[in-house]
Structure formats: C-alpha cells, structure tokens
Structure 1
Amino acid sequence: MGYAIHVFVCENERADDHPRGCCTARGSNLIRAWFKDSLCRHGISEGNRVNGTSCLDFCEVGPTIVVYPEGVWYSPKTRDDVEEIVTRHFLTGEVVERLRLR
C-alpha cells in the first residue's frame, strides 16, 4: 500500500503580521491544485497523491513542498515551476535543482 509519488504541500496559515509568514499567503493552495491538474494532464494521477499538510517549517521560502519517496524538498512559486517538477522529477527522475530546498 502507498503511493509511487506522494507530494505534501504546506498549507499552514498564520496571522498576516507573523514575522515568518506562511505558505498559504504565498499561494500554496494554487500550488496544490496545479500539481493535481498536471498529474491528470500527464496521465499519472493514478497511484500518486498530492496532499495539503500543516507547517513544514520553511516558512520564509514558501510555498514549500516535499516529494516522497525521495524526500526532496522544493519551493515552487509558479505554475511553470510545478510543471517543471512534474515533467523532470516525476516523469524522468531528475531533481530540479533550481527549485530544491536544502
């Protein structure tokens, strides 16, 4: 049981004046929707999963995602970033270094 690819998208919410900010204010809900859409368009939604989650603790650079089983952390900001992660990482196994968090 489990998923071949499991993406967790931080959807934590904080007060607008919180010094660390939050991923939701930076568009993480859209990021999650774009991942789901992209997986469907590429025909790879079956057996894979995209979930929203609470804080992943990289608030200052969010929105933050983590991709399992590899445990690769990314900070996609645009629909193009999401598409690049799907086409390069999910379809070919190549980590997208320019979006990777370390």
Structure 2
Amino acid sequence: MAEADPPPYFEAHVFVCCNRRPDGHKRGSCAASGSEALRDYMKARAKELGLKGVRVNQAGCLDRCEFGPTLVIYPEGIWYQVRTREDVDEVLAAHLVAGGRARRLMLTEKDVLPAKP
C-alpha cells in the first residue's frame, strides 16, 4: 500500500519570473519589463489582504519571456501576464481571494511562440 503524500505546505504558490537577460536580447526578459517591482508589490498586497497559506516567490526564467512579465500559480498551474499593479490586483482578487480566474490576463495554450524555422 502506497503512503499518501503529505498535505501541501502552501495553499497557493505564486512564482513571478524575475529573470534578467542582457539589454537588447531577442527574447527580452521579465525583469527588464518590470517584474521585480511587480513581485514586490504583489508580496506586499498579499500581506495587506491577509492571504494566509499563499507564498509569492521570485523565479528564474519560466521560458515565456515574450509574454512577460509572467507568473504562474500552483497547484493549479495557471499562468498570467501582468504588466501593471492593477493587473496584479486583478489576479490577487480573482484567483487568490475569490478562487476564480483573472481570465483577461491568463496565458493559455493559444499563447505560444511560432515554431522556429
């Protein structure tokens, strides 16, 4: 009989890409698009909102650079593009407070780069 997995340590884990590439890199980078300030804002707002069991973390490259700044929320694995503090507020309210989705900001299976020739 297999042992059960332990319960999750966090109810939600938010990874905000803060990868930085050299200026002018063809793929760009989330940090160059302001992700570090957005991460800091999201951490502060989550605390202000009293979100328990939610961890907002910095991540290295999440490999969706062209859509950045990006973040992903687990355990669901939902991806978002956030460019402003208002976008961050929308994700917090819709996904982490209400348990729904911020559909306008979601990256879906349609958000992929064209195949390389």
TM-based fold match above 0.5: yes
Query: May I ask how many residue pairs the two structures share in their alignment?
Result: 101
- Equivalent position SS for 1:50: strand
Q: For residue 13 of structure 2, what is the aligned residue in structure 1? A: 6
2:73 counterpart (67, 70, 90) = 67
Q: Which amino acid letter does the alignment assign opposite residue 98 of structure 1?
A: R
Q: For residue 80 of structure 1, what is the aligned residue in structure 2? A: 86
Uncovered stretches (5+) of structure 1, i.e. residues with no partner? none
CA RMSD of aligned residues (A): 1.0
* Larger RCO: 1 or 2 (CA < 8 Å, sep 6+): 1
Q: For residue 5 of structure 2, what is the aligned residue in structure 1? A: none
1:15-40 Cα deviation digits (max 9, x unpaired): 11210000000001011111111111
Uncovered stretches (5+) of structure 2, i.e. residues with no partner? 1-7, 109-117
Q: What TM-score, normalized to structure 1? A: 0.94
Q: What TM-score, normalized to structure 2? A: 0.82
Q: How does 1:1-102 map to 2 (within 5 A)?
A: 1-44=8-51, 46-102=52-108
Q: What is the percent sequence identity of the aligned residues? A: 47
4+ residue stretches of structure 1 with deviation over 3 A?
none
